[in-house]
Amino acid sequence: MKKTILLMILFLFFLINLPDQSHAAAGQSKIILDGQEVILPSDVQVTVINKHVMVPIRVVAENLKFGVDWDQKSHSVTIQQNSKIISLHVDQREARVAETPILLDVAPQILNQSVVVPLRFVSEQMGLAVSWDNKDKIVYLTTSTNNSAQTEASTPHSENSEQVSLTHISEINFLNNQLVVSMNGIVTPIISNLKDPNRIVIDLPNTTFGDLSQPLASGSMAKLDVSGQPNVSEVRYSLFNRDPDQIRIVIEMNRDSIIQVNHEFIGDQLIIDLNDTGDFESPIQEPLAGERGRKIVVIDPGHGGSDPGTISISNKYEKDFNLALSLKVQELLLKEPEIEVLMTRDSDVYPTRTERVQLANTLNADVFVSIHGNSVLESPQANGTETYYYQRSSSKQLANAIHKRLIKAMGLKDRGVKDKSFQVIRETKMAAVLLEIGFLSNISDEKAMLSNTVQYKAAQAIVDGIKEYLSIK
């Protein structure tokens, strides 16, 4: 009897203290589309995965009057946006937009029977201006005809304030005396060189953070890791002002020096270059390889670390294939007395694309080779080897030299040499190519690509192509 009474008391206590789940869920997040709140089902919410804001794609697409179809068997979502078809698969980072493969920041997930996708994908592929209010958990979406509504809804303005379209910052990095700011527009920075303490202040007017990669509310601050940067003691950034929004970046210098600051836009990145004209020592002197009169070759195993790349048909990561083949290329190049080889990574780490480019440019390399595996998961019949370069005639010459040998070594379909604007071959200043060795999503290609013997053949083909380009026998 006593045991029964005790159980009843515990049960009542549990009921009394149980939180109101439906109320909590309803108050967690909101989506505002063109100034109007989108009604979310009680079990559908905006969420955050790996520091990325994720939104329910069906709710967004249907409110935009797009067609949405869910295939339970393949766990895929198809969106019909006028004449454009967008295909996404749950737990797969690769999406297809009008038959073009797109790599998402985070794979779509199923949460409470709703598929959520990265907010940035919605912005880039559906033509929306987006912003995220981290404090109040509100996503603002604005169609191209309602830009002023988004600005008004996302931040309170005075009656006389001018309505402006905000540029969204997605990433900030500092490496080798360069500040690199990735954004979805062009902003003219206001740069001030101040003393006591010696610092450089960069103000970016009409900008805000476009994703939780920079999760800051107004007045809060974050810092970059600048260990190993001899000239700089600290780089910090914040959403410095609201109404209008403004991001401020401050670079604290280690000691007094006269610094010449230059800036330029390359693609979607603002590059702020600190060229030292004072008493600092340059972090990298003349490249060691150049001093020995040897040609400098940079090998870039694509992806790595937190970025696995695509996934093969047998669930192998592209990053591992890229590294395995690149290490074999390095092994062979180390035997060449006229070549000095350097790697952008030699383990499972993730240097950003900007860092890979900066390494090659700082070293004044002669050749840059980025190694990748291809994939079209929903089209397993796609197969073959293709090689990319960007505009430069020297890059095309290098691409042809390597590609013809890769075709023989791999024995796969020849998909040709193509001109395309990938960042690592667009922004490097030397002959640069990106190799798509084969399709990890194709059973025959994957078998060849994962063969240790075939990898050595491919590595030798790459080395021989590099040597032909460099006129080394």
Residues 302 and 361 in one domain: yes
Distance from C-alpha of 264 to C-alpha of 271, rounded to nearest angstrom: 5
For residue 178, the domain's CATH number is: 2.60.40.3500
CA–CA distances in Å: residue 173 to residues 124, 151, 169, 224, 227:
21, 27, 11, 7, 13
Distance from C-alpha of 53 to C-alpha of 44, rounded to nearest angstrom: 14
Residues 171 and 83 in one domain: no
Sheet with strand 36-37: strands edge to edge: 36-37, 30-33, 138-142, 129-133
Q: Is residue 147 part of a domain?
A: no
Q: Which residues contact 423 (CB under 8 A, 6 or more apart)?
A: 267, 353, 354, 357
Find, among 351, 368, 340, the residue nearest to 427 by Cα. 368
Distance of CA 89 to the CA centre of its chain: 19
Residue of higher predicted confidence among 144 and 445:
445
Residues 238 and 268 in one domain: yes
In the block, tokens 């270059």 appear at 273
Which pLDDT score, from 0 to 100, does residue 256 have?
57
Find, among 433, 300, 287, the residue nearest to 363 by Cα. 287
Q: Of 110, 133, 156, which residue constitutes the final position of a domain? A: 133
Lowest-confidence region among 99-113, 140-154, 199-213, 433-447: 140-154
Find, among 407, 412, 336, 413, the residue nearest to 367 by Cα. 336
Q: Indicate the average pLDDT of the chain.
A: 78
Which pLDDT score, from 0 to 100, does residue 63 have?
85
Kindly compute the dihedral angle of the four CA atoms of residues 393, 398, 404, 407, in this order, to the nearest 10 degrees.
-120
pTM above 0.75, yes or no: no
Residues 176 and 125 in one domain: no
Residues 226 and 374 in one domain: no
Residues 270 and 302 in one domain: no
DSSP class of 2: H
User: pLDDT of 248-275, one tens digit each?
Assistant: 888 888 765 556 677 777 667 788 877 5
Residues 236 and 102 in one domain: no
For residue 84, the domain's CATH number is: 3.30.457.10
Q: What is the mean pLDDT of residues 336-357?
A: 89
Q: What is residue 369's three-state secondary structure?
A: strand
User: pLDDT of 418-453, one tens digit each?
Assistant: 998 888 999 999 999 999 999 998 999 999 999 999
Residues 232 and 345 in one domain: no
Q: Of 107, 133, 159, which residue constitutes the final position of a domain? A: 133
In the block, tokens 């996934």 appear at 311
Q: 173 and 269 in contact (C-beta within 8 Å)? A: no
Q: Is residue 200 part of a domain?
A: yes
Residues 272 and 295 in one domain: no
Sheet with strand 52-56: strands edge to edge: 47-49, 52-56, 114-118, 109-111
136-139: long-range contacts at Cβ-Cβ below 8 A with a sequence spacing of 24 or more?
Answer: 136/30, 137/28, 137/29, 137/30, 137/46, 138/29, 138/30, 138/31, 138/32, 139/29, 139/30, 139/31, 139/32, 139/46, 139/53, 139/55
Q: 202 and 160 in contact (C-beta within 8 Å)? A: no
> Predicted confidence band at 140 (pLDDT cuts at 50, 70, 90)?
confident
Q: Which residues contact 202 (CB under 8 A, 6 or more apart)?
A: 179, 189, 190, 191, 248, 249, 250, 251, 272
Q: 426 and 367 in contact (C-beta within 8 Å)? A: no
Q: 89 and 378 in contact (C-beta within 8 Å)? A: yes
Distance from C-alpha of 302 to C-alpha of 425, rounded to nearest angstrom: 12
Q: Is residue 224 part of a domain?
A: yes
Q: Is residue 101 part of a domain?
A: yes
Find, among 161, 127, 160, 132, the residue nearest to 145 by Cα. 127
Distance from C-alpha of 270 to C-alpha of 179, rounded to nearest angstrom: 8
Which pLDDT score, from 0 to 100, does residue 243 have?
61
Parent domain of 59: 26-133
Residues 114 and 216 in one domain: no
Answer whether residue 193 shows pLDDT above 80.
no
> Predicted confidence band at 154 (pLDDT cuts at 50, 70, 90)?
very low
Distance from C-alpha of 107 to C-alpha of 109, rounded to nearest angstrom: 6
Residues 332 and 449 in one domain: yes
Work out how many domains the chain is built from and give that number.
3
> Predicted confidence band at 351 (pLDDT cuts at 50, 70, 90)?
confident
Q: Which residues contact 393 (CB under 8 A, 6 or more apart)?
A: none
**H or E element at residue 324:** helix 318-333
Kindly compute the dihedral angle of the four CA atoms of residues 150, 155, 160, 166, in this order, to the nearest 10 degrees.
-60
Q: What is the mean pLDDT of residues 121-131?
A: 72
Distance from C-alpha of 111 to C-alpha of 55, rounded to nearest angstrom: 10
